[in-house]
Amino acid sequence: SGAGRTTMPPIMQSGKVDIFAFIGGSKAADALMKTHPEPHRLKACLALDAKNLAIVMPDCNLDNAVAECVTGSLSYNGQRCTALKLMFVHESIAAQFTEKYCAAVDKMKMGLPWESGVKLTPLPEPSKPGYLRELIEDAEAKGAKVINGLGKQENGAFVRPSVLYPVSKEMRVWHEEQFGPLCPIAPFSSLDDIYAYLDETTFGQQASVFATD
């Protein structure tokens, strides 16, 4: 027994593992698979990094899209493999969407998991708040702003969500999985913008599309 970083390498090095099922980061999975003496015969079932998209079309039910994007991006502090990590919102409704989204995000109650009505809880990794600050600072230096009133607020492991808008491909948050309460929103004009993102990304994808047609 013990931490995975300690226990897993010797288990893999033993060569007795036939099937490697792993949920986590691609770097960790790659490093562990390389420790196996016969990686060519190792069967792998992997759920690794993801940059799951929300695609909000101009004909969507706006209130429903906002509510689902809040849940999708911030349930469990956004620390789910299936969480929404980047929201593409059509430019014709971006102002309305961001206004409603920010208002809903700032209403979320922060506290401990067992307290009534709490939606945001302490982050488990000591390094996560600093990493999120780095992503915010990088995005701000390249033209984005934190647009919600309670953004960029933290107290130790308690980190309130920050909504970044507009994000673009020059920013780290466009390419990196933030895995935490950081909510990047990008406007788009046509589906070709989405296809271009998918062509360039190195991540596996899930997507939530909000539209009536």
CB count within 10 Å of CB 38 equals 9
Closest C-alpha to 175, from 43, 51, 27: 51
What pLDDT is stored for residue 34 in this prediction? 93
Contact 206, 50 (CB under 8 A): yes
Q: How does DSSP classify residue 16?
A: -
First to last CA, the chain: 52
Give the CA distances from residue 124 to residues 76, 106, 134, 159, in Å, rounded to whole numbers and listed in that order. 11, 21, 18, 11
H/E run at residue 175: helix 172-175
Q: Which residue has the tokens 């430019």?
A: 91
What pLDDT is stored for residue 33 in this prediction? 93
What pLDDT is stored for residue 48 in this prediction? 79
H/E run at residue 85: strand 84-90
Report the predicted TM-score, pTM, of the whole model to 2 decimal places. Answer: 0.87
- Backbone phi, psi, residue 26, to 5°: -70, -35
| 154 beta partners | 159
What pLDDT is stored for residue 187 in this prediction? 98
SS3 content of the chain, % helix, strand, coil (to 5): 40, 25, 40
What pLDDT is stored for residue 27 in this prediction? 84
What pLDDT is stored for residue 24 in this prediction? 79
What pLDDT is stored for residue 46 in this prediction? 85
Find all residues with CB under 8 Å of 163, minimum gap 6, and list them.
Answer: 98, 101, 102, 105, 146, 147, 148, 151, 183, 185
Give the CA distances from residue 5 to residues 23, 32, 39, in Å, rounded to whole numbers and listed in that order. 14, 9, 19
Mean pLDDT by 10 residues, the chain (213 residues): 84 93 85 92 86 96 98 96 95 98 98 96 96 98 98 96 98 95 98 93 85 90
